[in-house]
Structure 1
Amino acid sequence: MKKVLFLLIAFLLSLPIVAQTYVQLSEKALEYVNKDSLEKAEIFFRKALKLEPANPHNALLFSNLGTIQRRMHRFNDAIESYTYALNMVPNASSILSNRASIYLEQGDNDRAYVDYCQILDVDKNNKEALLMRAYIYSVRKDYKAARIDYNKLLQENPVNYSARLGLATLNQREGRYREAIEIIEKLIAENPNDATLYVARGGVEKEMNQTDLALIDADEAIRLAPASVDAYLLRGELFLLQNRKYLARLDFEKAIALGVPQADLRDALKQCR
Protein backbone atom coordinates (compact mmCIF):
# COMPACT_ATOMS: atom_id res chain seq x y z
CA MET A 1 0.00 0.00 0.00
CA LYS A 2 2.79 2.40 0.88
CA LYS A 3 4.47 1.60 -2.44
CA VAL A 4 1.24 2.37 -4.34
CA LEU A 5 0.83 5.65 -2.46
CA PHE A 6 4.42 6.57 -3.18
CA LEU A 7 3.97 5.85 -6.89
CA LEU A 8 0.80 7.98 -6.97
CA ILE A 9 2.59 10.93 -5.35
CA ALA A 10 5.51 10.51 -7.74
CA PHE A 11 3.08 10.48 -10.68
CA LEU A 12 1.32 13.64 -9.52
CA LEU A 13 4.60 15.45 -9.03
CA SER A 14 5.65 14.52 -12.55
CA LEU A 15 2.60 16.24 -14.06
CA PRO A 16 3.17 19.76 -15.53
CA ILE A 17 2.00 22.63 -13.32
CA VAL A 18 -1.01 24.34 -14.88
CA ALA A 19 -0.08 28.03 -14.92
CA GLN A 20 -2.68 30.76 -14.73
CA THR A 21 -3.43 32.27 -18.11
CA TYR A 22 -3.18 35.94 -19.07
CA VAL A 23 -6.97 36.27 -18.88
CA GLN A 24 -7.15 34.56 -15.50
CA LEU A 25 -4.45 36.81 -14.06
CA SER A 26 -6.20 39.89 -15.41
CA GLU A 27 -9.55 38.80 -14.01
CA LYS A 28 -7.96 38.05 -10.64
CA ALA A 29 -6.46 41.54 -10.60
CA LEU A 30 -9.87 43.06 -11.26
CA GLU A 31 -11.38 40.97 -8.47
CA TYR A 32 -8.88 42.48 -6.05
CA VAL A 33 -9.61 45.97 -7.39
CA ASN A 34 -13.30 45.43 -6.64
CA LYS A 35 -12.33 44.29 -3.14
CA ASP A 36 -10.18 47.41 -2.78
CA SER A 37 -7.09 45.20 -2.30
CA LEU A 38 -4.99 47.43 -4.51
CA GLU A 39 -1.57 46.02 -3.68
CA LYS A 40 -2.71 42.50 -4.56
CA ALA A 41 -4.35 43.79 -7.73
CA GLU A 42 -1.05 45.37 -8.77
CA ILE A 43 0.76 42.05 -8.28
CA PHE A 44 -1.62 40.23 -10.62
CA PHE A 45 -1.60 42.97 -13.25
CA ARG A 46 2.20 42.77 -13.29
CA LYS A 47 2.09 38.96 -13.55
CA ALA A 48 -0.18 39.22 -16.58
CA LEU A 49 2.05 41.83 -18.20
CA LYS A 50 5.13 39.71 -17.61
CA LEU A 51 3.43 36.58 -18.96
CA GLU A 52 2.51 38.18 -22.30
CA PRO A 53 4.52 41.39 -22.77
CA ALA A 54 3.42 41.71 -26.42
CA ASN A 55 -0.30 41.25 -25.80
CA PRO A 56 -2.23 44.14 -27.45
CA HIS A 57 -4.53 44.29 -24.42
CA ASN A 58 -1.62 45.42 -22.26
CA ALA A 59 -2.58 49.03 -22.90
CA LEU A 60 -5.70 48.44 -20.83
CA LEU A 61 -3.74 46.63 -18.14
CA PHE A 62 -1.21 49.44 -17.89
CA SER A 63 -4.06 51.94 -17.71
CA ASN A 64 -5.71 49.99 -14.89
CA LEU A 65 -2.36 49.70 -13.16
CA GLY A 66 -1.91 53.46 -13.37
CA THR A 67 -5.33 54.04 -11.88
CA ILE A 68 -4.75 51.84 -8.83
CA GLN A 69 -1.29 53.39 -8.33
CA ARG A 70 -2.94 56.78 -8.36
CA ARG A 71 -5.43 55.59 -5.75
CA MET A 72 -2.44 54.56 -3.64
CA HIS A 73 -0.98 58.07 -4.10
CA ARG A 74 2.01 56.73 -6.04
CA PHE A 75 1.71 59.42 -8.65
CA ASN A 76 5.05 58.98 -10.40
CA ASP A 77 4.41 55.26 -10.82
CA ALA A 78 0.94 56.04 -12.15
CA ILE A 79 2.34 58.45 -14.73
CA GLU A 80 4.83 55.80 -15.84
CA SER A 81 2.07 53.21 -16.24
CA TYR A 82 -0.16 55.60 -18.18
CA THR A 83 2.80 56.45 -20.40
CA TYR A 84 3.41 52.78 -21.17
CA ALA A 85 -0.25 52.48 -22.11
CA LEU A 86 -0.03 55.54 -24.36
CA ASN A 87 2.98 54.09 -26.13
CA MET A 88 0.55 51.45 -27.40
CA VAL A 89 -2.54 53.64 -27.90
CA PRO A 90 -1.21 57.20 -28.30
CA ASN A 91 -4.57 58.91 -28.79
CA ALA A 92 -6.59 57.23 -26.04
CA SER A 93 -8.44 60.23 -24.60
CA SER A 94 -9.29 58.65 -21.25
CA ILE A 95 -5.67 57.68 -20.57
CA LEU A 96 -4.36 61.07 -21.70
CA SER A 97 -6.91 62.73 -19.43
CA ASN A 98 -5.90 60.58 -16.46
CA ARG A 99 -2.22 61.37 -16.95
CA ALA A 100 -2.94 65.08 -17.46
CA SER A 101 -4.93 65.28 -14.23
CA ILE A 102 -1.96 63.87 -12.30
CA TYR A 103 0.34 66.37 -13.95
CA LEU A 104 -2.01 69.12 -12.77
CA GLU A 105 -2.03 67.74 -9.21
CA GLN A 106 1.77 67.86 -9.28
CA GLY A 107 1.78 71.42 -10.58
CA ASP A 108 3.19 70.40 -13.96
CA ASN A 109 0.79 72.47 -16.04
CA ASP A 110 2.95 72.38 -19.16
CA ARG A 111 2.83 68.59 -19.53
CA ALA A 112 -0.88 68.58 -18.68
CA TYR A 113 -1.42 71.19 -21.39
CA VAL A 114 0.27 68.97 -23.98
CA ASP A 115 -1.97 66.03 -23.08
CA TYR A 116 -5.14 68.11 -23.22
CA CYS A 117 -4.13 69.55 -26.58
CA GLN A 118 -3.54 66.04 -27.90
CA ILE A 119 -7.04 65.03 -26.77
CA LEU A 120 -8.50 68.05 -28.56
CA ASP A 121 -6.58 67.26 -31.74
CA VAL A 122 -8.63 64.06 -31.92
CA ASP A 123 -11.84 65.25 -30.25
CA LYS A 124 -12.20 69.02 -30.62
CA ASN A 125 -15.32 69.13 -28.43
CA ASN A 126 -13.99 67.11 -25.50
CA LYS A 127 -15.53 68.92 -22.52
CA GLU A 128 -13.00 68.00 -19.86
CA ALA A 129 -10.03 68.85 -22.07
CA LEU A 130 -11.52 72.23 -23.04
CA LEU A 131 -12.33 73.06 -19.43
CA MET A 132 -8.92 72.12 -18.08
CA ARG A 133 -7.02 73.76 -20.93
CA ALA A 134 -9.00 76.95 -20.29
CA TYR A 135 -7.95 76.72 -16.64
CA ILE A 136 -4.28 76.33 -17.65
CA TYR A 137 -4.55 79.31 -20.00
CA SER A 138 -6.06 81.32 -17.17
CA VAL A 139 -3.20 80.40 -14.81
CA ARG A 140 -0.76 81.44 -17.55
CA LYS A 141 -2.69 84.74 -17.81
CA ASP A 142 -3.47 83.97 -21.44
CA TYR A 143 -7.00 85.21 -20.90
CA LYS A 144 -7.85 85.48 -24.58
CA ALA A 145 -7.13 81.79 -25.19
CA ALA A 146 -8.96 80.80 -22.00
CA ARG A 147 -12.03 82.76 -23.09
CA ILE A 148 -12.06 80.96 -26.44
CA ASP A 149 -12.17 77.54 -24.75
CA TYR A 150 -14.83 78.59 -22.24
CA ASN A 151 -16.98 80.09 -25.02
CA LYS A 152 -16.62 76.93 -27.09
CA LEU A 153 -17.95 74.93 -24.15
CA LEU A 154 -20.85 77.34 -23.75
CA GLN A 155 -21.66 77.16 -27.45
CA GLU A 156 -22.17 73.43 -27.03
CA ASN A 157 -24.00 73.81 -23.71
CA PRO A 158 -25.03 77.33 -22.65
CA VAL A 159 -25.83 76.19 -19.09
CA ASN A 160 -22.52 74.38 -18.46
CA TYR A 161 -21.90 75.09 -14.78
CA SER A 162 -18.11 74.75 -14.80
CA ALA A 163 -17.64 76.83 -17.94
CA ARG A 164 -19.83 79.64 -16.61
CA LEU A 165 -18.06 79.70 -13.26
CA GLY A 166 -14.71 79.57 -15.04
CA LEU A 167 -15.73 82.49 -17.22
CA ALA A 168 -16.80 84.44 -14.12
CA THR A 169 -13.39 83.79 -12.54
CA LEU A 170 -11.73 84.89 -15.77
CA ASN A 171 -13.74 88.12 -15.75
CA GLN A 172 -12.69 88.70 -12.15
CA ARG A 173 -9.01 88.28 -13.03
CA GLU A 174 -9.40 90.75 -15.87
CA GLY A 175 -11.08 93.26 -13.58
CA ARG A 176 -14.46 92.87 -15.28
CA TYR A 177 -16.22 92.64 -11.94
CA ARG A 178 -19.76 93.49 -13.04
CA GLU A 179 -19.71 90.78 -15.69
CA ALA A 180 -18.35 88.30 -13.16
CA ILE A 181 -21.09 89.15 -10.64
CA GLU A 182 -23.82 88.82 -13.28
CA ILE A 183 -22.72 85.30 -14.19
CA ILE A 184 -22.43 84.22 -10.55
CA GLU A 185 -25.81 85.65 -9.62
CA LYS A 186 -27.49 83.68 -12.41
CA LEU A 187 -25.76 80.56 -11.14
CA ILE A 188 -26.92 81.29 -7.58
CA ALA A 189 -30.51 81.71 -8.80
CA GLU A 190 -30.24 78.21 -10.29
CA ASN A 191 -28.25 76.71 -7.39
CA PRO A 192 -29.23 78.61 -4.23
CA ASN A 193 -27.64 76.06 -1.88
CA ASP A 194 -24.23 75.95 -3.57
CA ALA A 195 -21.72 77.36 -1.07
CA THR A 196 -19.02 77.59 -3.74
CA LEU A 197 -20.97 80.28 -5.56
CA TYR A 198 -21.29 82.49 -2.46
CA VAL A 199 -17.55 82.23 -1.92
CA ALA A 200 -17.01 83.16 -5.57
CA ARG A 201 -19.27 86.20 -5.35
CA GLY A 202 -17.73 87.19 -2.04
CA GLY A 203 -14.29 87.07 -3.62
CA VAL A 204 -15.37 89.45 -6.37
CA GLU A 205 -17.07 91.77 -3.86
CA LYS A 206 -13.87 91.79 -1.80
CA GLU A 207 -11.92 93.04 -4.82
CA MET A 208 -14.62 95.65 -5.41
CA ASN A 209 -14.08 96.85 -1.80
CA GLN A 210 -17.62 95.82 -0.90
CA THR A 211 -16.49 94.18 2.32
CA ASP A 212 -19.87 94.12 4.05
CA LEU A 213 -21.54 92.37 1.10
CA ALA A 214 -18.64 89.92 0.87
CA LEU A 215 -19.02 89.07 4.57
CA ILE A 216 -22.70 88.28 4.06
CA ASP A 217 -21.75 85.86 1.29
CA ALA A 218 -18.98 84.29 3.37
CA ASP A 219 -21.40 83.78 6.27
CA GLU A 220 -23.94 82.19 3.93
CA ALA A 221 -21.31 79.87 2.47
CA ILE A 222 -20.33 78.71 5.96
CA ARG A 223 -23.98 78.21 6.90
CA LEU A 224 -24.48 76.03 3.81
CA ALA A 225 -21.14 74.21 4.08
CA PRO A 226 -19.65 74.37 7.60
CA ALA A 227 -16.53 72.53 6.38
CA SER A 228 -15.82 74.94 3.50
CA VAL A 229 -12.15 75.87 3.82
CA ASP A 230 -12.45 78.57 1.14
CA ALA A 231 -15.29 80.24 3.03
CA TYR A 232 -13.28 80.48 6.26
CA LEU A 233 -10.26 81.78 4.38
CA LEU A 234 -12.36 84.44 2.66
CA ARG A 235 -14.04 85.52 5.88
CA GLY A 236 -10.69 85.62 7.68
CA GLU A 237 -9.29 87.92 4.99
CA LEU A 238 -12.36 90.14 5.21
CA PHE A 239 -12.08 90.38 9.00
CA LEU A 240 -8.45 91.41 8.59
CA LEU A 241 -9.47 94.16 6.19
CA GLN A 242 -11.83 95.41 8.90
CA ASN A 243 -9.06 95.11 11.51
CA ARG A 244 -11.08 92.52 13.43
CA LYS A 245 -7.98 90.47 14.12
CA TYR A 246 -9.34 88.16 16.77
CA LEU A 247 -12.17 86.97 14.51
CA ALA A 248 -9.78 86.67 11.58
CA ARG A 249 -7.49 84.46 13.61
CA LEU A 250 -10.38 82.19 14.60
CA ASP A 251 -11.28 81.67 10.96
CA PHE A 252 -7.70 80.98 9.90
CA GLU A 253 -7.32 78.49 12.74
CA LYS A 254 -10.55 76.83 11.63
CA ALA A 255 -9.14 76.54 8.11
CA ILE A 256 -6.02 74.90 9.54
CA ALA A 257 -8.17 72.47 11.51
CA LEU A 258 -9.91 71.60 8.23
CA GLY A 259 -6.63 70.72 6.56
CA VAL A 260 -4.86 73.85 5.36
CA PRO A 261 -1.13 73.59 6.14
CA GLN A 262 -0.26 76.04 8.91
CA ALA A 263 2.76 77.21 6.93
CA ASP A 264 0.42 78.48 4.20
CA LEU A 265 -1.23 80.85 6.68
CA ARG A 266 1.86 81.93 8.60
CA ASP A 267 1.79 85.48 7.19
CA ALA A 268 -1.95 85.83 7.67
CA LEU A 269 -1.66 84.71 11.31
CA LYS A 270 1.12 87.23 11.91
CA GLN A 271 -1.23 89.99 10.74
CA CYS A 272 -3.73 88.85 13.37
CA ARG A 273 -1.46 89.81 16.29
Structure 2
Amino acid sequence: MLLRLTVIITACLCLGLLSPLQAQDPATDDHAYLTLVDSAQTATATGRYDDAAALLHRALSARPASPTNVLLLSNLGMVQHYAGRDSLAYTTLSSALAQAPGSATILMNRGKVLTALGRFDSAIADFSAALRRDTSRMEPRFYRAMLLIHTGEVLSADADADTLMWRSPRSRMALEAKSACLRAMSRFDEAIPLLNDLINHYPDAAAYGARAACRVMTDDLNGAAADIAEALTRDPSNPDFLLTRALLNKKRYRREDSLKDAEEAIRNGANPERVKAVLAL
Protein backbone atom coordinates (compact mmCIF):
# COMPACT_ATOMS: atom_id res chain seq x y z
CA MET A 1 0.00 0.00 0.00
CA LEU A 2 2.79 2.45 0.91
CA LEU A 3 4.65 1.67 -2.32
CA ARG A 4 1.50 2.46 -4.27
CA LEU A 5 1.19 5.67 -2.25
CA THR A 6 4.73 6.67 -3.18
CA VAL A 7 3.86 6.30 -6.85
CA ILE A 8 0.76 8.47 -6.41
CA ILE A 9 2.70 11.17 -4.56
CA THR A 10 5.49 11.14 -7.13
CA ALA A 11 2.95 11.67 -9.91
CA CYS A 12 1.39 14.57 -8.04
CA LEU A 13 4.78 16.19 -7.56
CA CYS A 14 5.64 15.83 -11.22
CA LEU A 15 2.34 17.41 -12.23
CA GLY A 16 2.79 20.27 -9.79
CA LEU A 17 -0.33 19.30 -7.82
CA LEU A 18 1.37 19.54 -4.43
CA SER A 19 2.07 22.96 -3.03
CA PRO A 20 5.66 23.90 -2.08
CA LEU A 21 6.59 23.79 1.59
CA GLN A 22 7.50 26.85 3.58
CA ALA A 23 9.14 25.21 6.60
CA GLN A 24 12.86 24.73 6.93
CA ASP A 25 12.81 21.15 8.20
CA PRO A 26 15.01 18.90 6.01
CA ALA A 27 12.00 16.67 5.42
CA THR A 28 10.21 19.43 3.53
CA ASP A 29 11.77 19.00 0.11
CA ASP A 30 10.20 16.64 -2.38
CA HIS A 31 12.91 13.99 -2.20
CA ALA A 32 12.94 13.90 1.60
CA TYR A 33 9.14 13.66 1.71
CA LEU A 34 9.12 10.62 -0.56
CA THR A 35 12.01 9.15 1.41
CA LEU A 36 9.90 9.37 4.57
CA VAL A 37 7.08 7.48 2.86
CA ASP A 38 9.46 4.82 1.52
CA SER A 39 11.14 4.46 4.92
CA ALA A 40 7.73 4.06 6.57
CA GLN A 41 6.94 1.28 4.10
CA THR A 42 10.17 -0.52 4.94
CA ALA A 43 9.59 -0.12 8.68
CA THR A 44 6.07 -1.52 8.36
CA ALA A 45 7.23 -4.49 6.27
CA THR A 46 9.83 -5.39 8.89
CA GLY A 47 7.48 -5.03 11.85
CA ARG A 48 8.99 -1.80 13.20
CA TYR A 49 5.61 -0.20 13.74
CA ASP A 50 6.71 2.55 16.14
CA ASP A 51 9.32 3.68 13.62
CA ALA A 52 6.77 3.54 10.81
CA ALA A 53 4.30 5.65 12.80
CA ALA A 54 6.97 8.24 13.59
CA LEU A 55 7.97 8.47 9.93
CA LEU A 56 4.36 8.87 8.82
CA HIS A 57 3.81 11.59 11.41
CA ARG A 58 6.85 13.42 10.02
CA ALA A 59 5.55 13.14 6.48
CA LEU A 60 2.13 14.42 7.54
CA SER A 61 3.70 17.37 9.35
CA ALA A 62 5.99 18.14 6.43
CA ARG A 63 3.09 18.71 4.03
CA PRO A 64 0.01 19.49 6.15
CA ALA A 65 -2.02 20.69 3.16
CA SER A 66 -1.12 17.84 0.81
CA PRO A 67 -4.10 16.16 -0.90
CA THR A 68 -2.38 12.80 -0.42
CA ASN A 69 -2.29 13.11 3.37
CA VAL A 70 -5.53 11.19 3.72
CA LEU A 71 -3.73 8.16 2.27
CA LEU A 72 -0.89 8.61 4.73
CA LEU A 73 -3.41 8.95 7.55
CA SER A 74 -5.10 5.70 6.53
CA ASN A 75 -1.73 3.94 6.51
CA LEU A 76 -0.91 5.42 9.91
CA GLY A 77 -4.13 3.99 11.28
CA MET A 78 -3.23 0.52 10.03
CA VAL A 79 0.30 0.78 11.44
CA GLN A 80 -1.25 1.62 14.82
CA HIS A 81 -3.55 -1.38 14.42
CA TYR A 82 -0.59 -3.68 13.67
CA ALA A 83 1.09 -2.35 16.82
CA GLY A 84 -1.97 -3.29 18.89
CA ARG A 85 -3.13 0.28 19.48
CA ASP A 86 -6.64 -0.31 18.16
CA SER A 87 -8.41 2.55 19.94
CA LEU A 88 -5.87 5.02 18.55
CA ALA A 89 -6.11 3.38 15.13
CA TYR A 90 -9.89 3.80 15.18
CA THR A 91 -9.51 7.52 15.93
CA THR A 92 -6.94 7.95 13.15
CA LEU A 93 -9.02 6.11 10.56
CA SER A 94 -12.16 8.00 11.55
CA SER A 95 -10.24 11.22 10.96
CA ALA A 96 -9.15 9.94 7.55
CA LEU A 97 -12.72 8.93 6.73
CA ALA A 98 -13.98 12.40 7.65
CA GLN A 99 -11.64 13.77 4.97
CA ALA A 100 -12.54 11.13 2.39
CA PRO A 101 -15.99 9.74 3.27
CA GLY A 102 -16.26 7.92 -0.04
CA SER A 103 -13.10 5.84 0.40
CA ALA A 104 -13.84 2.11 0.31
CA THR A 105 -10.27 1.39 1.42
CA ILE A 106 -10.52 3.50 4.57
CA LEU A 107 -13.91 2.01 5.41
CA MET A 108 -12.49 -1.48 5.02
CA ASN A 109 -9.47 -0.62 7.18
CA ARG A 110 -11.66 0.83 9.91
CA GLY A 111 -13.84 -2.28 9.73
CA LYS A 112 -10.78 -4.41 10.49
CA VAL A 113 -9.95 -2.24 13.50
CA LEU A 114 -13.55 -2.36 14.75
CA THR A 115 -13.38 -6.16 14.47
CA ALA A 116 -10.27 -6.18 16.65
CA LEU A 117 -12.11 -3.97 19.16
CA GLY A 118 -14.98 -6.46 19.29
CA ARG A 119 -17.45 -3.97 17.80
CA PHE A 120 -18.80 -6.44 15.29
CA ASP A 121 -22.00 -4.67 14.27
CA SER A 122 -20.09 -1.46 13.54
CA ALA A 123 -17.46 -3.44 11.62
CA ILE A 124 -20.15 -5.10 9.50
CA ALA A 125 -21.60 -1.65 8.80
CA ASP A 126 -18.21 -0.39 7.57
CA PHE A 127 -17.63 -3.43 5.36
CA SER A 128 -21.14 -3.01 3.94
CA ALA A 129 -20.50 0.68 3.26
CA ALA A 130 -17.23 -0.21 1.50
CA LEU A 131 -19.14 -2.65 -0.72
CA ARG A 132 -21.76 -0.05 -1.56
CA ARG A 133 -18.96 2.12 -2.91
CA ASP A 134 -17.31 -0.73 -4.81
CA THR A 135 -19.26 -3.99 -5.15
CA SER A 136 -16.37 -5.70 -6.93
CA ARG A 137 -14.08 -5.73 -3.89
CA MET A 138 -13.40 -9.18 -2.50
CA GLU A 139 -11.82 -8.27 0.83
CA PRO A 140 -14.68 -6.42 2.57
CA ARG A 141 -17.12 -9.10 1.40
CA PHE A 142 -14.87 -11.78 2.88
CA TYR A 143 -14.52 -10.01 6.23
CA ARG A 144 -18.25 -9.32 6.36
CA ALA A 145 -19.01 -12.99 5.69
CA MET A 146 -16.71 -14.15 8.48
CA LEU A 147 -18.23 -11.67 10.94
CA LEU A 148 -21.76 -12.63 9.95
CA ILE A 149 -20.90 -16.25 10.77
CA HIS A 150 -19.60 -15.09 14.15
CA THR A 151 -22.81 -13.16 14.88
CA GLY A 152 -25.03 -16.08 13.84
CA GLU A 153 -26.24 -14.66 10.52
CA VAL A 154 -25.06 -17.69 8.58
CA LEU A 155 -27.46 -17.43 5.64
CA SER A 156 -26.35 -13.84 4.96
CA ALA A 157 -22.74 -14.94 5.29
CA ASP A 158 -23.36 -17.77 2.85
CA ALA A 159 -24.73 -15.31 0.28
CA ASP A 160 -21.46 -13.36 0.51
CA ALA A 161 -19.46 -16.59 0.27
CA ASP A 162 -21.38 -17.64 -2.84
CA THR A 163 -20.57 -14.28 -4.44
CA LEU A 164 -16.89 -14.79 -3.65
CA MET A 165 -17.01 -18.30 -5.13
CA TRP A 166 -18.73 -17.02 -8.27
CA ARG A 167 -16.11 -14.32 -8.78
CA SER A 168 -12.99 -16.29 -7.89
CA PRO A 169 -13.72 -19.92 -6.99
CA ARG A 170 -10.13 -20.89 -6.27
CA SER A 171 -9.15 -17.79 -4.32
CA ARG A 172 -8.17 -18.14 -0.70
CA MET A 173 -10.91 -15.81 0.51
CA ALA A 174 -13.62 -17.67 -1.39
CA LEU A 175 -12.50 -21.09 -0.17
CA GLU A 176 -12.13 -19.93 3.43
CA ALA A 177 -15.48 -18.15 3.53
CA LYS A 178 -17.51 -20.89 1.84
CA SER A 179 -15.94 -23.71 3.88
CA ALA A 180 -16.55 -21.72 7.08
CA CYS A 181 -20.22 -21.27 6.15
CA LEU A 182 -20.63 -24.97 5.44
CA ARG A 183 -19.05 -25.83 8.79
CA ALA A 184 -21.35 -23.37 10.55
CA MET A 185 -24.31 -25.16 8.93
CA SER A 186 -22.92 -28.58 10.00
CA ARG A 187 -22.41 -29.57 6.36
CA PHE A 188 -19.01 -31.05 7.11
CA ASP A 189 -18.89 -33.47 4.17
CA GLU A 190 -19.37 -30.57 1.76
CA ALA A 191 -16.74 -28.45 3.48
CA ILE A 192 -13.97 -31.05 3.21
CA PRO A 193 -13.41 -30.79 -0.59
CA LEU A 194 -13.08 -27.01 -0.29
CA LEU A 195 -10.61 -27.44 2.56
CA ASN A 196 -8.68 -29.92 0.42
CA ASP A 197 -8.34 -27.20 -2.24
CA LEU A 198 -7.39 -24.67 0.41
CA ILE A 199 -4.65 -26.91 1.80
CA ASN A 200 -3.36 -27.78 -1.68
CA HIS A 201 -2.94 -24.12 -2.61
CA TYR A 202 -2.69 -22.20 0.69
CA PRO A 203 -1.61 -24.63 3.42
CA ASP A 204 -1.61 -23.15 6.89
CA ALA A 205 -2.50 -24.16 10.44
CA ALA A 206 -6.05 -22.83 10.23
CA ALA A 207 -6.88 -24.89 7.15
CA TYR A 208 -5.51 -28.10 8.69
CA GLY A 209 -7.36 -27.36 11.93
CA ALA A 210 -10.64 -26.77 10.08
CA ARG A 211 -10.33 -30.00 8.10
CA ALA A 212 -9.45 -31.89 11.28
CA ALA A 213 -12.65 -30.64 12.90
CA CYS A 214 -14.69 -31.71 9.87
CA ARG A 215 -13.08 -35.13 9.85
CA VAL A 216 -13.81 -35.60 13.55
CA MET A 217 -17.46 -34.77 12.91
CA THR A 218 -17.64 -37.23 9.99
CA ASP A 219 -15.86 -39.95 12.00
CA ASP A 220 -12.74 -40.02 9.82
CA LEU A 221 -10.64 -40.28 12.97
CA ASN A 222 -7.37 -41.28 11.33
CA GLY A 223 -7.57 -38.39 8.90
CA ALA A 224 -8.49 -36.04 11.75
CA ALA A 225 -5.51 -37.23 13.79
CA ALA A 226 -3.10 -36.48 10.93
CA ASP A 227 -4.61 -33.06 10.33
CA ILE A 228 -4.71 -31.96 13.96
CA ALA A 229 -1.11 -33.10 14.44
CA GLU A 230 -0.09 -30.89 11.51
CA ALA A 231 -2.15 -27.97 12.79
CA LEU A 232 -0.63 -28.17 16.28
CA THR A 233 2.88 -28.50 14.85
CA ARG A 234 2.30 -25.15 13.17
CA ASP A 235 0.42 -23.51 16.07
CA PRO A 236 0.95 -25.52 19.30
CA SER A 237 -1.05 -23.30 21.66
CA ASN A 238 -4.14 -22.70 19.54
CA PRO A 239 -7.13 -23.39 21.84
CA ASP A 240 -9.44 -24.42 18.99
CA PHE A 241 -6.95 -27.02 17.79
CA LEU A 242 -6.50 -28.34 21.32
CA LEU A 243 -10.26 -28.59 21.72
CA THR A 244 -10.52 -30.48 18.42
CA ARG A 245 -7.89 -32.94 19.66
CA ALA A 246 -9.80 -33.27 22.93
CA LEU A 247 -12.94 -34.23 20.99
CA LEU A 248 -10.92 -36.61 18.82
CA ASN A 249 -9.49 -38.31 21.91
CA LYS A 250 -12.94 -38.56 23.43
CA LYS A 251 -14.19 -40.33 20.29
CA ARG A 252 -11.21 -42.68 20.57
CA TYR A 253 -12.17 -43.42 24.20
CA ARG A 254 -9.01 -41.80 25.50
CA ARG A 255 -10.66 -40.00 28.39
CA GLU A 256 -7.52 -38.90 30.24
CA ASP A 257 -5.94 -37.50 27.07
CA SER A 258 -9.20 -35.74 26.23
CA LEU A 259 -9.39 -34.10 29.65
CA LYS A 260 -5.75 -32.99 29.45
CA ASP A 261 -6.37 -31.39 26.06
CA ALA A 262 -9.50 -29.70 27.41
CA GLU A 263 -7.56 -28.25 30.35
CA GLU A 264 -4.79 -27.06 28.03
CA ALA A 265 -7.32 -25.46 25.69
CA ILE A 266 -8.78 -23.50 28.62
CA ARG A 267 -5.32 -22.44 29.79
CA ASN A 268 -4.71 -21.07 26.29
CA GLY A 269 -7.90 -19.04 26.17
CA ALA A 270 -10.78 -21.35 25.30
CA ASN A 271 -14.09 -20.51 26.96
CA PRO A 272 -14.65 -23.15 29.70
CA GLU A 273 -18.39 -23.28 29.00
CA ARG A 274 -17.74 -23.90 25.30
CA VAL A 275 -15.29 -26.68 26.17
CA LYS A 276 -17.89 -28.32 28.39
CA ALA A 277 -20.53 -28.03 25.67
CA VAL A 278 -18.32 -29.47 22.92
CA LEU A 279 -17.16 -32.39 25.02
CA ALA A 280 -20.51 -32.83 26.82
CA LEU A 281 -18.73 -32.79 30.17
Q: Place the TM-score, normalised by the shorter chain, in its bin.
A: 0.7 to 0.9
Structure 2: how far apart are the matches of 1:267 and 1:150? 26
In structure 1, the residue matched to 2:19 is none
Structure 1: how far apart are the matches of 2:41 and 2:201? 36
Q: Which amino acid aligns with 1:31?
A: S
Pair 1:31-2:42 in alignment: no
Structure 2: how far apart are the matches of 1:168 and 1:204? 10
- Give unpaired runs (5+ residues) of structure 2: 1-22
State the Cα RMSD in Å: 3.6
Q: Deviations over 1:166-217 (max 9, x none)?
A: 22332232233433344445555x4596554443233234445x2xx24531
| Identity between Structure 1 and Structure 2 (%) | 24
Q: Which amino acid aligns with 2:75?
A: N
In structure 2, the residue matched to 1:98 is 109
Among 123, 132, 156, the residue aligned to 2:134: 123
Structure 2: how far apart are the matches of 1:85 and 1:116? 16
Aligned partners of 1:86 and 1:96 also within 8 Å:
yes
Q: How far 1:87 sits from its partner (Å)?
A: 1.3
Larger radius of gyration: 1
Pair 1:61-2:59 in alignment: no
Pair 1:222-2:229 in alignment: yes
Structure 2: how far apart are the matches of 1:176 and 1:31? 48
In structure 2, the residue matched to 1:200 is 210
Structure 2: how far apart are the matches of 1:88 and 1:192? 37
Give the length in aligned residue pairs.
Answer: 249
Structure 2: how far apart are the matches of 1:89 and 1:192? 35
Structure 1: how far apart are the matches of 2:245 and 2:216? 10
Among 134, 154, 158, the residue aligned to 1:143: 154
Q: What TM-score does the superposition give when structure 1 sets the normalisation length?
A: 0.73
Q: What TM-score does the superposition give when structure 2 sets the normalisation length?
A: 0.71
- Give unpaired runs (5+ residues) of structure 1: 1-16
Aligned partners of 1:198 and 1:218 also within 8 Å:
no
Q: Deviations over 1:75-109 (max 9, x none)?
A: 11111111111111222232222221111122211
In structure 2, the residue matched to 1:10 is none
Q: Mark the CA change 1:193 to 1:130 in structure 2 (over 3 Å): closer, same or farther.
A: closer
Pair 1:18-2:24 in alignment: yes
Structure 2: how far apart are the matches of 1:161 and 1:37? 27
Q: Mark the CA change 1:134 to 1:267 in structure 2 (over 3 Å): closer, same or farther.
A: closer
Among 224, 248, 256, the residue aligned to 1:238: 248
1:143-162 matches, cutoff 5 A: 143-162=154-173
Aligned partners of 1:59 and 1:88 also within 8 Å:
yes
Asked which structure has the greater RCO (Cα within 8 Å, sep 6+), the reply is 2
